[in-house]
Amino acid sequence: MIIFQRVSKQFPDGTLGLDQISFQINKGEFVFFIGPSGAGKTTIMRLLRREILPSKGTVLVKGKNLKDMEREEVPELRRKVSMCYQDFKLLYDRTVYENIALSLEIADMKEAKIQERVAEILKDAGLQKKGNFFPVQLSGGELQRVGIARAIVGKPDVLIADEPTGNLDPESGWEILKLFKEINLAGTTVLVATHNVEIVNRFKERVILLKKGKMISDNKKGKYHLKQKK
C-alpha cells in the first residue's frame, strides 16, 4: 500500500530531513515510527499526505506516485490518508458533532447519511454523550478522541498520528492507543509517530527507528529502548 524508495528530503534552509529512506507498509499494518526530535518522523507523514514532495526518490500510495499526482487529486488522497494531531486542530466555535461532520459536508454527503455516520463514530470513540459539547468543555483525552473521530469518519485507508499522546496523561494516552488498535483491527492501516517508550514496548507492533533522517532499524515486533532517545 505504501512504498518509500530511496526517499530523501532537503528543506530550503539546507536541513536534510530524510536521507535515502526505503520501506514498505502493507494494508492493515500497525507501525510505530520512533526516534528523537528531528529524526524525520513528521517529514515522512507530511510526504504521505503530499504536504511536501521528496527531493529525491519515490513515494507510492496504493500504486500512485505522489510526485505525479495532479493538484485536484490531493484532497481525495488526504481523505484516504487521514491525520490526527498532537494539538487536535479542532474548531473551537463548533460542537463535537459539527467538528466531526465537517469533512463529510465538504465531501457533499447527504445530511441523513452524515447524521448516521457521525453517530456511529461518536459511539466507537466513546463520545456518544458529547456530541453537543464544545471543545472547551472536554478533557485532553476527550479532545484527542474527537480528533481521531474526525480523522476516521470518512473511512480512510490509512490513519496517521503524529505524537498523539504528547499532551495527555499516561492513562489517557494508553486509552487513545487502544482506540488506535481497535481502528487497526477493523482494517485501517495505522501509523503512529511517538516518543512514548511504554506504549511502544507494550503494544509490540512493527517499529521503524529513525535518527537524523536515516532509518536505523525496522523490526516486526520492536521495542523502544531508552538509549534510543539520545
Angle subtended by helix axes 96-106 and 140-152, to nearest 10? 20
Instruction: Tally the C-alpha atoms within 13 A of residue 161's C-alpha that lie toward its C-beta.
Output: 33
Residue 38 vs residue 59, higher pLDDT: 59
Q: What is the pLDDT of residue 124?
A: 92
Q: Quick one: the chain helix, strand, coil %, rounded to 5?
A: 40, 25, 35
> Which helix (H) or strand (E) element contains residue 182?
helix 170-185
- Amino acid symbol at 199: I
178 vs 140: CA distance, rounded Å = 16
The pLDDT value given to residue 229: 43
Q: Which of 80-89, 92-101, 122-131 has the lowest mean pLDDT?
A: 80-89
170-174 contact pairs (CB < 8 A, 24+) = 170/198, 171/141, 172/139, 172/140, 172/141, 172/144, 173/199, 174/199
Q: How far apart are CA 114 and CA 100, in angstroms?
A: 9
Q: What pLDDT score was predicted for residue 102?
A: 94
The residue ranges of every structural domain in the chain are 29-39+71-229
- Asked if the model's pLDDT at residue 62 lies above 50, the reply is yes
Amino acid identity, residue 30?
F
Q: What percent of the chain has pLDDT over 90?
A: 79
Band of pLDDT at residue 105, cut at 50, 70 and 90: very high
In this predicted structure, what is the pLDDT of residue 199?
86
Structural domain 29-39+71-229, CATH architecture:
3-Layer(aba) Sandwich (3.40)
Q: Whole-number mean pLDDT of the chain?
A: 92
pLDDT of res. 225: 65
- The larger pLDDT score, comparing residue 21 to residue 103, is at 21
Q: Is 28 left (phi over 0), alpha (psi -120 to 50) or beta?
A: left
CB atoms within 10 A of CB 99: 25
Cα–Cα–Cα angle for 123, 95, 190, nearest 5°? 50
Per-residue pLDDT, 227: 54
Question: Is 230's pLDDT higher than 50?
Answer: no
What is d(CA 145, CA 161) in angstroms, rounded to the nearest whole number? 12
Of the candidates 87, 224, 86, 90, the residue with the CA atom closest to the CA atom of residue 164: 86
Among candidates 36, 48, 53, 104, which has minimal Cα distance to 77?
Answer: 48
Per-residue pLDDT at 226 exceeds 60: no
Taking only the tens place, the pLDDT of each residue in 145-202 is 999 999 999 999 999 999 888 878 888 888 999 999 999 999 999 999 998 888 898 8
